[in-house]
Amino acid sequence: MKTIRRSGLTVVGLLLGSLVPTGLTLANSQDEVQGEELTALVESIRAATQRFEDIEVALAEGYVPDPSGHCVSAEMEGMPAELGSMGIHYLRPDLLGLTSSEPRVDGNGIHTDFHTPSVLLYEPQADGSMVLVGVENLVFYKAWEKAGNTEPPTFAGRTWNYMADDPETEADEAHGFEPHYDQHVWFRDNGTIHLEPFNPWVSCTLFALEEEGS
């Protein structure tokens, strides 16, 4: 999304933190988890992060709004609109291990614990509030390799998505970040999309209307 407000990334520079080491238990599972087992795993993460349904709690614990200000949808990324949206991201700079914000956000983060995620995902509501719909972890590609990893991280047997901007396209496939791996875990009941990048049951429509009216 080349329209990303890159000037806003300077906000991240004020919030850079050191990496908080965490275990890799959830990220290193090689066995695919499905059905009731996956549902139970998602529910355990939901329970561990339930307090962040109150966005003031998230702010108090160090999460900050994505400086781009976007509610990310598949359509704005040049992908089919029916894939849905990601929503608005709230970031923990320390868990991401952020080291710089220009020209792209970079860091040394290899945090993979979904019970203490580095990113919270919110859906904007008509009354101006936001609903917690999922969580995300993001590790920077160079940092992941430097730590001695020769394969991408996995979660519940699923390989995380690799994200890197393609300068030949109009969209910014890496959302203003350096190349990285990321993985989403969705709480909203969406059938089979618990671990996909976008959720068709999450919408940015109200956010877009609010921006148009401002």
For residues 182 and 178, what is the distance between their CA atoms, to the nearest angstrom? 12
pTM above 0.85, yes or no: no
8/180 Cα distance (integer angstroms): 20
The C-alpha atoms of residue 145 and residue 152 are separated, in whole angstroms, by 9
pLDDT in tens, 146-187: 999 999 999 999 999 999 998 888 878 887 889 999 999 999
- Of 1-5, 36-40, 98-102, the range with the lowest mean pLDDT is 1-5
Q: What is the mean pLDDT of the chain?
A: 82
Instruction: Give residue limits of the domains in the chain.
Output: 6-213
Residue 135 has pLDDT above 90, yes or no: yes
Confidence of residue 28 (pLDDT cuts 50, 70, 90): very low
